[in-house]
Each structure stands twice: as structure tokens, then as C-alpha cells.
Amino acid sequence: MNMDQQLQHAVLRELADDPAVEAKNISVEVKQGAVTLKGLVGSFYEKWQAERAAQRVQGVQSLVIDLQVNIASDRQRSDADIALAAEKVLSWNAAIPPDSVKVKVENGGVTLSGALGWNFQRETAQKIVAQLIGVVEVNNQIEIKPHVSSVRVKDDIDEAIKRQAIQDAAKISVRVEGSKVILEGSVSNWAERDVIKHTVWSTRGVQSVVDHLKYDTSRMKNF
């Protein structure tokens, strides 16, 4: 069994182990570490969870999501109902300041806009809306608008990465241009890359992240 076949089996196992995913409806194709997910899912949330499951597998170097959301007739909702539900769950969530996020719905696709001070708030808004019945897509256009110095941002990120005890911390370069963070260097797997990006996004003052991290394939382990 070659590396692509091993990776394919690993992704299939991860999908099967995720309770939010109907793995039997999803096929996995792999070519030189590039993974493609194809098939039908019953909700946008399931599509999102399938993507996250694939990202957790070591060896996945890139990911193409070709999953179609096919909502059962008894779970379809009008755009007006989805918009009302989205506005309610956002207003009920303690992490989201009142009236900070705007909702637009078209053909089951939800667009979120507005401004928040932290990326975790933006991710929270997307996650809770993604779980609503009838949603087929979420386009997150919420902006992050804090006010801190770029020097402080870089210092906070460097310290946070060290606290995470990331194996490749010494091989990671963090460059800050205003509120934009540029990541360069190498990591050994997607999960480590995800931890680094999450750490950066969790730093106050970060509005955008440019990911130039590369994989050090010499240290990837067999499955």
C-alpha cells in the first residue's frame, strides 16, 4: 500500500469516527497528499465537520471540498425563517455583542457581515449559524477591528506559540505588518499548522493571516 492509499484509508477512518458525519455518503480521493472529498451531505454543518475531520489527519497537504448539501424536504426552511433564526441565536450568544453582526440569506446561503474585536467571536458566529436547519452555505464577511500596536501583536504571538510547546516553534517566522500576520517556515503536519494559525488568530489585533507555512515531508510518519 502506497502513501496515498494509506492517507485515503486514514481520512475514511476519521470521517467514520465523527458522529456528525455520514461517512458512507462521502468518497475520498488522494493524489500526492492532496485530498478531495466528494458526495452528498444533509446539512452545511455536516459538510463543515467533514472538512475539519479531514484536516485532522496527518499527511493531508491540501484539501478540496466537493460536497453537495442536499437538505431533506422536511428540513427545508424559507430564507426569512433562516434569517430570523440566525438573528436570534446570535443575539442569545454571550460572546457576540448586540447588533454587531448583520445577516443576509439568499437561497439558503447565509452571509454574515459587521465588525467584532476578536477572531474567536467571528468563528463563534459562523459555527452557531452553520448548525441551523436549512442552511446550505455560510459566507463569513465579519471584519476584525481592534486597535493595538503591531509590535505588541508580534510579541504576544511569539509568546503564545512558545506556550503551546509546538515542536517546530523554532522553525516558524512571524512577521507583522499593521494588523496582518505573515507566517513562514515549516511544520510536520496539518494539525500543527492548525494549532499555529489558531494561536495567531487568538491574538488581539490580528485582522488577517497570510499562511506561507510549508510541510517538512522528511519528518512525516507512516500511518
pLDDT digits (tens, 9 = 90+) for 151-198: 777 787 778 777 765 655 677 888 888 778 898 888 877 777 888 888
Beta bridge partners of 212: 184
Digit-coded pLDDT (tens) for 195-216:
888 888 888 778 788 998 887 7
Is pLDDT above 70 for 87?
yes
pLDDT for 222 equals: 47
What is the overall mean pLDDT for the chain? 87
Instruction: Map residue 205 onto helix, strand or coil.
Output: coil
Distances (CA, A) of 196 to 29, 31, 38: 27, 26, 28
Tell me how far apart the alpha carbons of residues 114 and 88 are, in angstroms, rounded to a whole number. 16
Half-sphere exposure of residue 164: CA atoms within 13 angstroms, side-chain side: 23
| Residue 29 neighbours by CB under 8 Å, 6+ apart | 8, 35, 36, 38
Average the pLDDT over 13-26 and give the result: 94
pLDDT for 146 equals: 66
0.75 exceeded by the pTM? no
